[in-house]
Chains A and B, each alone.
Chain A
């Protein structure tokens, strides 16, 4: 039952947005196509990065580097309760958004979208940001040089997010939210 409700969420959101826009006498159809062409442009921006980064990620996987890294970090991750397969994602996430997407997509494809590892990777990607990049962009553009405690606080938020991603996926699958 709960699983069906979460499945309904996205279609209902789409419908709700369309109805709300219609009530405001907006041209829903051309807004949709306009947005879709914007989506294509976004894709054109990230696709070259994905190709280049996916090459590096696949080479890391094939060379055995990721397995080695996972074995090294295994005890720490096991102690915290995060699947050790997500270690590469945890390391790259604060540094680069597109690299994290490449690493996460590889994990999701390798272990399956509906596996514990695949779901945890997806939740990590969806609920954390490219911390270093964001701090650099916002303070850089505003000409602020001393960022004080922003980085430690933001990294603590990231760590909490990584831990909570694993914990919440475990919790929700125990609650029977997933099919």
Chain B
């Protein structure tokens, strides 16, 4: 539903601007052109997306995700303080799936973790922290973005990795710090 509003809003903005700025012919042409570009973008993503989906399956089978989950346990224990071991297990699996870029596997695991943490209709501190952890993307290999860069002729599509890691870590630290600080002042009653 949110996307319907966003998409329609984008169209309204484009058409209002086209009329006001006198760019109607360009905008009309861009409609056809944009759809075509969407197709060529999708096709240009196919190669790297397939290759890295394959690589992720291999990493999973090699037990790398389980090893990551074990490494993360001390951190997650602090983060999901006061939760059942089952909830923590699901949380660890969710985080390691996220790290490997297995978005399709990560979401159901994350939902399971939140379900196991649930007490009533109000989010607990652990749940807030866990969801913040999930909204600050922590991905070792942003393959889709590398595919987009490769398609646009990047010299080395993966050369953004250090910047992505540093940025993810900073965003995660800021989010968790904010969650920790807000958790001390936000009452359990509030929304």
A: residues with CB less than 8 A from B are: 3, 6-7, 9-10, 13-14, 17-18, 20-21, 23-24, 26, 28, 31-40, 42-43, 46-47, 50-65, 68, 92, 95-96, 99, 101-102, 104-106, 108-109, 112-114, 118-119, 122-135, 137-139, 141-150, 152-154, 156-161, 164-165, 168-169, 171-172, 177-179
* Chain B: CB-nearest residue to A157: B175
Taking a contact as CB atoms under 8 Å apart, the answer to whether A122 and B49 are in contact is no
CB proximity to A under 8 Å, residues B147-187: 148-168, 170-176, 178-179, 182-183, 186
Taking a contact as CB atoms under 8 Å apart, the answer to whether A127 and B30 are in contact is no
Taking a contact as CB atoms under 8 Å apart, the answer to whether A148 and B191 are in contact is yes
User: How far apart are B18's CB and chain A's nearest CB, in angstroms?
Assistant: 4
Q: Interface on chain B toward A: helix, strand, loop, or mixed SS?
A: helix
Q: How far is the CA of A139 from the CA of B191 in the complex (A)?
A: 13
Taking a contact as CB atoms under 8 Å apart, the answer to whether B167 and A35 are in contact is no
Given A9-B158, A105-B152, A127-B165, 6 additional A-B pairs, CB 8 A: A6-B158, A6-B161, A35-B53, A42-B53, A122-B148, A154-B135
Of A28, A104, A114, most B-chain CB atoms within 10 Å: A114
Q: How far is the CA of A106 from the CA of B148 in the complex (A)?
A: 10
Q: Which B residues touch A42, using CB under 8 A?
A: 49, 53, 104
Q: Which B residues touch A68, using CB under 8 A?
A: 17, 21
* Chain B: CB-nearest residue to A166: B167
Which of B11, B134, B139, B152 touches A134 (beta carbons < 8 Å)?
B134
User: How far apart are B188's CB and chain A's nearest CB, in angstroms?
Assistant: 8
Q: Which B residues touch A32, using CB under 8 A?
A: 54-55, 57-58
A-B pairs, top 7 by smallest CB distance, nearest first, are A157-B175, A58-B34, A39-B53, A126-B142, A35-B57, A51-B38, A54-B38
B68 within 8 A of A: no
Q: Interface on chain A toward B: helix, strand, loop, or mixed SS?
A: helix
Taking a contact as CB atoms under 8 Å apart, the answer to whether A147 and B128 are in contact is yes
Taking a contact as CB atoms under 8 Å apart, the answer to whether B135 and A31 are in contact is no
B81 within 8 A of A: no
Taking a contact as CB atoms under 8 Å apart, the answer to whether A63 and B14 are in contact is yes
A-B contact pairs, 24 of them (CB 8 A): A6-B158, A17-B58, A20-B63, A36-B50, A39-B49, A50-B42, A55-B38, A56-B10, A56-B34, A63-B27, A108-B148, A123-B160, A126-B145, A126-B168, A134-B135, A135-B135, A139-B114, A141-B111, A146-B191, A149-B182, A150-B132, A153-B128, A156-B174, A179-B156
User: Given A59-B30, A139-B131, A7 and B159 touching (CB < 8 A)?
Assistant: yes
Q: Which A residues touch B38, using CB under 8 A?
A: 47, 50-55, 102
Taking a contact as CB atoms under 8 Å apart, the answer to whether B190 and A161 are in contact is no
B71 within 8 A of A: no
